[in-house]
């Protein structure tokens, strides 16, 4: 059985939907904190069981019969994040999973300037020591994070952010399709994959040009000092830890941690991943404006 954690979140749910296009529902299980939110999956024949990375007993039940098991990383940082991942990896080992897949990130490393990438590196260490075959999906940085950073610019036309560097912004839907392909055995990777990225690495100067072309309105790029950006986040209610996490993205980007562009994602999905201009046009056409203080980092 293929089991997916976090199946009520964005990446997990999209992965399940892609799986169900190719795999009978009775071969798919999901481990979710609130089974009521996955009732529609149960109605379609998917095995839905409660599972929380904070509750080892629940994972023993939800991971039962696991073949390929996808662990979607927690939306936490630091020791709390890694401890939750340790609980999930241990539960997968005890359940006898044939292979553990984990949603890591391009740039994962112990010396990364971005806390989430350090957490991913520590989790990969856990997988390496588990004794179970494993794959770390080195996902490109989610394009949704860039879209969050652009929220205030939708009205002002000014992209005021810290100095950055090129980032291979990548869509959840393309990554989910590739993840489903690996889960069902279309491709196999031992350990970390190559970066699974969108078609280009862009800094926010390039993003401003794309926004101008896409909307027909002028967008400018203003570099905001790190301290001023942090103070602005705090003034809008962000916690200090969140503000520091956000600054880590820009620091890591300045040092090239997210700049790689690699073909494996295109090879897995059989087409070129959607470019940032397409994602920007789709998002701004469909979505209301949102609070830009806490973009998605996982």
| pLDDT at residue 159, as a whole number | 98
Averaged over 3-11, what is the pLDDT?
97
Higher pLDDT, 286 or 127: 127
Quick one: tokens of 30? 């999901």
A 10 A CB-CB count for 172 gives: 20
Contact 20, 44 (CB under 8 A): yes
Q: Which residues pair with 105 in a beta bridge?
A: 139
Superfamily name with CATH number, domain 2-138+171-192: NAD(P)-binding Rossmann-like Domain (3.40.50.720)
| pLDDT over 50 at 298, yes or no | no
**Count of CA atoms in the C-beta half-sphere (13 A) of 67:** 9
Residue 289: pLDDT band (50, 70, 90) is: low
The predicted model scores a pTM of 0.94
Domain locations in the chain? 2-138+171-192
A 10 A CB-CB count for 93 gives: 15
Alpha-carbon span 101 to 70, nearest angstrom? 5
Q: pLDDT digits over 221-276, tens only?
A: 999 999 999 999 999 999 999 999 999 999 999 999 999 999 999 999 999 999 99
**Percentage of the chain with pLDDT > 90?**
95
């Amino acid at each position: 059985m293929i089991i997916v954690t976090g199946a009520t979140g964005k990446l997990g749910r999209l992965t399940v939907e892609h799986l169900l296009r190719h795999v009978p529902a009775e071969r798919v299980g999901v481990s979710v904190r609130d089974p009521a939110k996955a009732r529609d999956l149960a109605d379609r024949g998917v095995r839905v069981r409660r599972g929380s990375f904070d509750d080892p007993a629940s994972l023993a039940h939800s991971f039962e019969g696991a073949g390929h098991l996808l662990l979607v990383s927690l939306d936490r940082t630091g020791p709390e994040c890694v401890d939750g991942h340790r609980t999930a990896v241990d539960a997968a080992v005890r359940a006898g999973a044939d292979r553990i897949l984990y949603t890591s990130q391009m740039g994962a490393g112990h010396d990364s300037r971005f806390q989430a990438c350090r957490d991913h590196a520590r989790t990969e260490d856990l997988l390496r020591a588990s004794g179970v075959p494993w794959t770390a999906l080195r996902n490109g940085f989610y394009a949704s994070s860039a879209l969050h950073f652009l929220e205030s610019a939708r009205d002002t036309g000014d992209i005021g952010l810290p100095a950055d560097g090129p980032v291979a912004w990548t869509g959840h839907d393309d990554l989910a399709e590739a993840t489903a392909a690996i889960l069902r055995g279309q491709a196999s990777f031992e350990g970390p994959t190559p970066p699974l990225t969108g078609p280009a690495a862009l800094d926010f100067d390039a993003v401003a040009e794309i926004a101008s072309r896409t909307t027909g309105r002028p967008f400018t790029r203003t570099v905001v000092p790190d301290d001023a950006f942090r103070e602005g986040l705090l003034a809008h209610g962000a916690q200090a830890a969140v503000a520091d996490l956000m600054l880590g993205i820009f620091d890591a980007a300045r040092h090239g941690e997210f700049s790689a562009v690699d073909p494996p994602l295109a090879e897995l999905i059989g087409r070129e991943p959607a470019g940032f201009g397409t994602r920007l046009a789709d998002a701004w056409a469909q979505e209301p404006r949102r609070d830009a203080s806490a973009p998605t980092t996982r």
